[in-house]
Amino acid sequence: MITGEQVFLPAFKSGQTHLKLEGTEFHHLVRVRRFVEGDEIWVVNGAGTAARATLDTIGASSLDLQVLEEHQNRGELGLHLILAVANLKGDHINLIVEKATELGVNEIIPLLTDHTIKKGVNKNRLERIAVAAMKQSRRSRCPLIHDLTPFSTVVKNLPAAVHLFCYGADFSSSIVPSIQGMSVSTPIVIWIGPEGDWSKDEIDLASISDYTFTGLGPRRLRAETAAIHAVGLVSALLPDPV
């Protein structure tokens, strides 16, 4: 049986021809999904390497896989996409991580902003959500989840990139013409503020940093909706996945 089923094996390295699967991935594949010897799956290491493999030998607690073909950056966008998003109340950041991963984001930076209410994130949980979303969306790279970081620190430390600073002001330009015709060698950073919006100091810092103030349409969106909407628009206008 040939399927699109995908398993995460971080120890998998390019060039390997035989792999061993055990633990929770083995249990889900064999005990839950009832895969048998001869079935084909995809194996990804979360760092860009993917392989189509066949189940060779199934044991009591592990199975052996034979690699049939290898691909680099399967399911990935044509450039590096970063989402810098204010930490939100409740579990909204979980939803953002899941959907942003599905849409192709490479890094997610939870921001501590002047108007941020929730002061902590469960990074381990966010990483688990990202892995599950990577597998579900048939990507080969798992996004890097950063620690909760102050807004000003992120501004200072990010590399050269196109910065789309989402802010619902009359002078903000549409996100679509902001990225059309852009070189795929340039990373893109999407900035999403908190429930209470950006503070004046943060707006001023984005302005002097020459960020592109970007609007997301005439409607007022919740922060989590804005994040997913912005990433969806950008990823749809980027080169197709390889």
CB atoms within 10 A of CB 63: 20
Structure pTM?
0.92
Query: Which domain CATH number covers 53?
Result: 2.40.240.20
Same domain membership, residue 122 and residue 170:
yes
Q: Edge-to-edge strand order for the sheet containing 62-72?
A: 2-8, 40-44, 49-58, 62-72, 18-22
Among residues 21, 40, 72, the one where a domain terminates is: 72
User: Domain boundary residue among 72, 101, 124?
Assistant: 72
Claim to verify: residue 54 and residue 86 sit in the same structural domain = no
* Residue 61 pLDDT: 95
| Model pLDDT, residue 172 | 82
44 and 86 together in one domain: no
Q: Which domain holds residue 42?
A: 2-72
Query: Is the distance from CB of 89 to CB of 180 less than 8 angstroms?
Result: no
Q: CA–CA separation, 227 vs 242, rounded Å? A: 24
Asked whether residue 154 falls in the same domain as residue 221, the answer is: yes
Structure-token match 């966010």, residue found: 126
Residues 46 and 120 in one domain: no
CATH number for 137? 3.40.1280.10
Query: Do residue 92 and residue 205 come from a single domain?
Result: yes
Are 34 and 61 found together in one domain? yes
User: Quick check: is 31 in a domain?
Assistant: yes
Residue 139 shares a structural domain with residue 223: yes
Q: Are residues 225 and 130 in the same domain?
A: yes
Has residue 242 been placed in a domain?
no
Segments of the chain scoring below 70 in pLDDT: 1-3, 177-184, 239-242
Same domain assignment for residues 68 and 116:
no
Bridge partners of residue 191, in order along the sequence: 84, 165
- Report CA torsion sign: 67, 71, 76, 79: positive
Residues 17 and 60 in one domain: yes
Q: CA 203, 209, 210, 212 torsion: positive or negative?
A: negative
Number of domains in the chain: 2
